Structure 1
């Protein structure tokens, strides 16, 4: 059933011409001008450095923008800097420098990471203090030395183990 639905969806996608759009898609963009294909063929606006030309203009056409567009068709030297900026802002929300500028989001991520690390250390310390029982007596340094001496005296594994590395005549490690 799933493969049938997938095949059906793919066939429907192939059969519909790219220029044909439903009224619901056109209602989403309002009275903004559709100026290109976009990065996925849908009438949406996204600032992307890898695909710098969005499918629709950022702002809808107002009488001011329409007048500027008519003036734009003539000599660009007659346009003032403010008019050029207004035309740019009607088509694009941000400049490349604006949408590629660092946001400082990394600071929050580092902060949350350090907070979680700090909480885990406090939880570990609480568990060590209140939950875990104390270490057994056999893990004290003096008891471990006595255990080692006992193993050497018993000559435990004398061929290739611990006792093979002890010099019994000079009473030291080889």
Structure 2
């Protein structure tokens, strides 16, 4: 008796809910979350070249101690995990040794888009002319190579 009910229930459901036709075309034409360093991600995160460089926010009278503290925070809270990890560990390891000129240069670098900084540091893209000779970006590139194979974790704030 239960087999009859099951067959009848299936027949009833089939009349109420016609079968969906399966399409051979994919639901998305491309992966909505491509991995970094893939061709699709590189093309999706490219900043147009006709956009002018960002204008830094003027901070007159900011002490060096306040500048360092702000840069630590801005290095940690970027918006992408890849940039957060790279920049926060760089800040932890290098900000204490930087002089005021390098700190201000790093401050200007942090005004750039996350993926641009990430790909410049990992040498996925060549930096624009304004960053080509930057000593801070050179240090960041060396840090990103992680030649010592250090396991990096987010440092505490």
TM-score bracket for the superposition, by shorter chain length:
under 0.3
Q: Quick check: which has more Rg, 1 or 2?
A: 1
Using the size of structure 2 for normalisation, the TM-score is: 0.20
Using the size of structure 1 for normalisation, the TM-score is: 0.18
Query: Which structure has more RCO (C-alpha within 8 Å, separation ≥ 6)?
Result: 2
